[in-house]
Chain A
Amino acid sequence: MTVQPTGLADYNFAYLDEPTKRMIRRAILKAIAIPGYQVPFASREMPMPYGWGTGGVQVTASIIGPDDTLKVIDQGADDTTNAVSIRAFFAKVAEVSTTTSTAEATIIQTRHRIPEETLGEGQVLVYQVPIPEPLRFLEPRETETRKMHALEDYGLMHVKLYEDIARNGHIATTYAYPVKVEGRYVMDPSPTPKFDNPKMDQSEALQLFGAGREKRIYAVPPYTSVVSLDFEDYPFEVNRFDEPCALCGAEGVYLDEVVLDDRGGRMFVCSDTDHCEKRRAAGHRGAMASEGTLA
């Protein structure tokens, strides 16, 4: 199937040509077989800029079929501009149905969040990853970090986390918090807040990670151990919010701080817009919600 047959330029189903999809599919299979290991792949230029989700888009384009239902979120929201743009891209080049409902999606492409709703067996979560190498900011050279992974030498990471504790009294990493997968590879969970890290562990859904500019694909199969790095005396803990969502009253979810005026007025609302809407539709109300909110 071709899209936009203009004569000057036309494109395949899901944009990528078939040899490219095959190459990415082979990488995905190896990624699943070696959980947490970053498989190098010959990433392609995509029609959106590097750094804007090209890795996730390539993974999605390689797995998606006409029967899929796609959800795209950025910062937890379906209506952020880049999420809208990527969703529209797939609706156009793959003619798939799209949804904002987490439960209805078979493929969810995400940037910076994991949905609040627990994902199930029929679902694939595709992460957009800017810097896949968890050791990159400690050691800029690929030649060195590759050796560290090969030797399972993660001392540098522990030193970094420990220095945080020495300096601040706690680990000062709040997002892209490193995890160890199945007891072997240290992995970057992408810049999700560490609040989301526990959702990765023993997830029923398959988790695929695509880093386009850095040309890496990695995966966490379902029912796989994902442990956030920590120390016995300084165990990993997630950030908690003091108040519930002002719109739906949810607790134990990740909240965005919204500035309301120039006098310091602010409110906290669910970052996961679908979760918030579903709760409000079910009659939950937060402190600042009104009947008119769910227009």
Chain B
Amino acid sequence: MAVQSQDAIVTGGFDAPVFDAQSVFRALMDAMARPGTVQAIAPRASAPSPLGPVAAALALTLCDVDTPVWLDAALATDGAIARWLGFHAGAPVTDDPAAAAFALIGDGPSLGSLDRFARGTHDYPDRSATLIVQVPDLAAGPALTLTGPGIKQSTALAPSGLPARFTTLWADNNALFPCGIDMVLATPDAVAALPRTTRIQSTEN
């Protein structure tokens, strides 16, 4: 292993772990409670490329030894991100998406079927995966209309970097309620969330 890559792995954690994690969590909690709202997150963590600072900060905030993490092909590449997660969060990386508490997605357009992830059971619908999807932005993509709990009437969001048939995938996820996955969209400087209760329509329709 190159010295440089070793450096990249042992650096880039939170400077103030207690307060950084609290502040990132509050932004995420607000995002989850108010789907479609965009919550800014100042840069606090830096992971090996291509894991962005916000996705990295979310991983440090949420993941640890109790939460298997799955990485998509874009993030799994040379194993640097897995080692970074292991070093800073103690989180085990799994090859089995169904076993993951969190899935980090670097390549949103190739996300594919959501069926591979844990969706919870009717007894324990909370035992489902949370997907953290890196997207370039939340305003330049196809316009979406969001409704559901946490949203007063309806709200708009236009994330780039999601699969073309995302609204269909999401409608399938909605149909599983109370089971289903929850999704967090991480741009380089902000976060928005789509809990399983959020219904999404293309605004063009």
Q: Decide: A222 and B34 in contact? CB cutoff 8 A.
A: yes
Q: Decide: A25 and B62 in contact? CB cutoff 8 A.
A: yes
| Chain A at the B interface: SS class | mixed
Q: Decide: A33 and B195 in contact? CB cutoff 8 A.
A: yes
Range class of the B interface residue count: 35 or more
The verdict on A221 contacting B34 (CB below 8 Å), with A26-B62, A30-B126, A34-B126 known, is yes
Smallest CB-CB separation from A31: which chain B residue? B126
Checking B64, B126, B177, B195 against A39 with a beta-carbon cut-off of 8 angstroms, the contacting residue is B126
- C-beta contact mask, B117-128 vs A, less than 8 Å → 1, else 0? 000011111101
Checking B17, B33, B121 against A221 with a beta-carbon cut-off of 8 angstroms, the contacting residue is B33
Q: Decide: A206 and B33 in contact? CB cutoff 8 A.
A: yes
- C-beta contact mask, A38-58 vs B, less than 8 Å → 1, else 0? 011000000000000000000
Q: Decide: B62 and A22 in contact? CB cutoff 8 A.
A: yes
Q: Decide: A32 and B18 in contact? CB cutoff 8 A.
A: no
Q: How many residues of A contact B (CB 8 A)?
A: 42
Contact of B196 with A by CB under 8 A: yes
- C-beta contact mask, B21-36 vs A, less than 8 Å → 1, else 0? 1110110111011100
Q: Decide: B29 and A184 in contact? CB cutoff 8 A.
A: no
| Chain B at the A interface: SS class | loop
Q: Decide: B178 and A29 in contact? CB cutoff 8 A.
A: no
Checking A21, A23, A150 against B21 with a beta-carbon cut-off of 8 angstroms, the contacting residue is A21
- Shortest Cβ distance from residue B22 to the other chain A in the assembled complex, whole angstroms: 4
Give every chain A residue within 8 A of B23 (Cβ-Cβ): 65
Q: Decide: B29 and A33 in contact? CB cutoff 8 A.
A: no
Contact of A239 with B by CB under 8 A: no
- Shortest Cβ distance from residue B36 to the other chain A in the assembled complex, whole angstroms: 11
Q: Decide: B22 and A65 in contact? CB cutoff 8 A.
A: yes
Give every chain B residue within 8 A of A22 (Cβ-Cβ): 21, 61-64
> Which of A28, A33, A223: most chain B Cβ within 10 A?
A33
Contact of B202 with A by CB under 8 A: no
Contact of B66 with A by CB under 8 A: yes
Chain A residues packing against B (C-beta within 8 Å): 1, 12-13, 18-19, 21-23, 25-35, 37, 39-40, 62-66, 121, 146-147, 150-151, 182, 184-185, 206, 219, 221-225
